Chains A and B, each alone.
Chain A
Amino acid sequence: MYGKPMKKYILWTMLAVLTLTACDKVSPAGILIANTDVDDRIKMSRDYYRVHERDLFLFKKAHDGEYTFLVGADSHLTTDPGRMREMLQIGIDDDDLFYAHLGDIADTKAEYYITLDEVITEAKEKYGKKHYKPVTYMDDYDYPHTIYLDTVSQKFYEVKEIPLPFHPVVGNHDITNNGWALWTSLFHSSFYMGYVLVGSDDQGVEYLDRLIFLDSASGTLGEEQIDEIESHFFDNDIQNNANLKIRHTFIFGHTNIFRPSATEFASTFTREETYYLLNKFDQWNASIVFSGHVHAWDEREVGGITYLTLDAMSEDNNPGPGDYLVRVHAKRDGSLSWERVRMNYTPISQ
């Protein structure tokens, strides 16, 4: 039916298709067309956020106007959840108000997400024991069952429902090979915001620190997200209320803007989008912009804004102990400081 040259082309095509679909962690065909569209993610995230925004973590209250939070990046969890467990434990031990994770939290296999879910559930239980009152009762089958009472809100939580303040953004490895379905099963929204209530003045003006979580996993924010930003998705609450004032704005995203060194990967944002973002962060009067992706540390100041690119906390990338996390301390007087936080977990194979 086919001539010899045609057979050759068909064989080459089949070989190319096999090669392009055989890779486990990456999707080479994605160089041309993505299998997960950022605009679709934003539509889903926006809808989830609008329904659940009050359940997320709006208006966390800083203790006496002062608080800390912990940031990590690129855990790339597979079978060993050691580093992820360590990050969560550090936050519980040191009473951080919340965690932010900058994406690439796990490689995209169902068993890795099951492991991740187990580690997060374990942390929820520890968090519940520390911050809530455990209440144990005998269930219908006469087994002891523990739930947790938030004595402030008088809400009871099952372990799985404990609102552990763990807030991730999505990274490119989270969504390759259709990983978005796995990621959303745990975290739901890749584009959202929150506030920390830090105090009020004599005039009744409430001061808030604003937390902005962006979906930059595709190396672009995409049209939907840009449109939402330009429609003041992150500003409306504040613009429409004279009694609310922003003190600090913290921005969390996956894709790095700056290149740590000539031997590291450059940003995947286009040149124009880079300039757009730098200007937007300036308009938002951001204090610190966090990113990951490149698995290397970088810090710099641009127009009074601190840009921190975090090294990977992944055991595979950095098996030895190191300062992979960042803790930010927002103080009562409005000043900020940050420090790198050491992780000591070392994989058994090391």
Chain B
Amino acid sequence: MMKGIRQWVFVATLVCCLANEGWAQTYNGIHKYDGTHQNVVTSYMMLGDNIICDTYFGVAASYTRHLTDRWHVGGDMQAQMGKQFYSVDVQGGYRLPVKWMDFYLDGKLIYNRYNLWGTNEVMANLSLTWETPYFNFRIGETYIHYHMLHFGYTEPLTLALGAGVNIRPRWDSWNIGLFARNYDDFYYEAYNINWGVNFWANLMKDVQLFGELNLRPAGSLSQLATEYEKSLKLGLKYVW
């Protein structure tokens, strides 16, 4: 009975989050399969400020299905109003537990539409993630192709690098962490290292609140990091 009510509360919250804009995608870091729940739904709202588009608002939703305790597949959607940015992706991966660590091999295929500039973008990423209770590190390669103005361009392979650290073990009921990475849920950059702080806290047994402050400079590897974008994400994760 309680579980049913929680599900409805969560779904209602999701609907409230997404009422205006439809579905979107999410990514809040790799979280170890808990061994019980096979389904994970997350949704977040995003508020940001960007030097080109000024203030924007976004919504995202994501679903992950753990096929076994090793294999998972999923999909994400995101829309950012103000930027007129729309994104969908599918992803899947394999988890290899080694003692107290986990290694993930993940693949992700993203389609992005930058409507303001009439640009279609396809990205494919293959990443290896090393996750420990307090620390995670990811390295990967990304294929990026975009098409605009009757012109297509493929970026030679682009290295993806990311790292995060938490103040408490990853499975604790709440946590705060720091991260640095050259990618986010829906894009991969050549340089331009994002950095910020994130948190999560269990609201109920199966529902988690999470958030993230993301500072995205440009020109990091010109040694001239300059403010480009800052964004705030706040969302819920539900497992069953």
A interface residues with partner B (beta carbon < 8 Å): 26-28, 30-34, 36-39, 172, 175-176, 217-223, 226, 255, 258-259, 261-262, 265-273, 275-276, 278-279, 282, 301-303
A253 to chain B, nearest CB (A): 13
A227 to chain B, nearest CB (A): 9
Asked if residues A172 and B151 are in contact (CB atoms below 8 Å), the reply is: no
Please state if A172 and B224 are interface contacts (CB–CB under 8 Å). yes
A303 pairs with B150, CB closer than 8 A: yes
Known A-B contacts A33-B225, A270-B216; the reply to A220 vs B156 at CB < 8 A is no
Expressed in whole angstroms, the minimum distance between the Cβ of A295 and any Cβ of chain B is 13
Q: A267-B190, A271-B121 are in contact. List 16 more A-B contacts (CB 8 A).
A: A30-B222, A31-B220, A176-B224, A220-B226, A222-B226, A261-B156, A272-B85, A273-B51, A273-B228, A275-B114, A275-B119, A276-B116, A279-B117, A279-B118, A282-B149, A301-B151
For window 192-228 of B, CB contacts with A under 8 Å fall at 192-193, 195, 216-228
Q: Which residues of B contact A275 (CB under 8 A)?
A: 114, 116-117, 119, 146, 148
Residues on A with beta carbons closer than 8 Å to the beta carbon of B85: 272
Residues on B with beta carbons closer than 8 Å to the beta carbon of A222: 51, 226-227
A181 to chain B, nearest CB (A): 15
Query: Per a CB cutoff under 8 Å, which of B50, B190, B193, B220 touches A266?
Result: B190
Nearest residue, chain A, Cβ from B219: A219
State whether A268 and B222 are in contact (beta carbons under 8 Å apart), knowing that A226-B51, A273-B228, A279-B118 are contacts in the complex.
yes
Please measure, in the bound complex, the distance between the C-alpha atom of A89 and the C-alpha atom of B223, giving whole angstroms.
33
Query: Do A270 and B228 form a contact, CB below 8 Å, given A255-B222, A279-B117?
Result: yes
User: Could you say which residues of chain B place their CB within 8 Å of the CB of A272?
Assistant: 50, 52-53, 83, 85, 114, 117
Report which of B116, B187, B193, B195 forms a contact with A271, defined as CB distance below 8 A: B187
Smallest CB separation, A266 vs chain B (Å)? 4
Q: Hey, which chain B residues are within 8 Å of A269, CB to CB?
A: 218
Q: Is B21 an interface residue (CB 8 A)?
A: no
Q: Which 10 A-B pairs have the closest CB atoms?
A: A219-B219, A303-B149, A220-B218, A262-B156, A266-B190, A30-B223, A172-B222, A275-B117, A223-B51, A218-B219
- In B151-165, the 8 Å CB interface with A consists of 151, 153, 155-158
Q: How far is the CB of A34 from chain B (nearest CB, A)?
A: 4
Contact A266 B191 (CB under 8 A): yes
Name the residue of chain A whose CB is nearest to the CB of B54.
A223
Interface size class of B (residues with CB under 8 A): 35 or more
Q: Shortest distance in angstroms between B58's beta carbon and chain A's nearest beta carbon?
A: 13
A176 contact set on B, CB distance < 8 A: 223-224
Asked if residues A270 and B189 are in contact (CB atoms below 8 Å), the reply is yes
Which A residues lie within 8 Å of B191 (CB)? 219, 266, 268
Which of A33, A175, A270: most chain B CB closer than 10 A? A270
How far does the alpha carbon of A218 sit from the alpha carbon of B226 in the complex, in Å?
Answer: 7
Alpha-carbon gap, A127 to B57, bound state (A): 56
Across the interface, do A268 and B195 meet the contact criterion of CB distance under 8 Å? Answer: no
- Contact (Cβ within 8 A) B224 A270: no
- Cα distance A262–B153 when bound, in Å? 13
Query: How near does chain A come to B134, taking the closest CB pair, in angstroms?
Result: 17
Within 8 A of A (CB), among B137-186: 144, 146, 148-151, 153, 155-158
Contacts of B52 in A (CB 8 A): 226, 272-273, 276
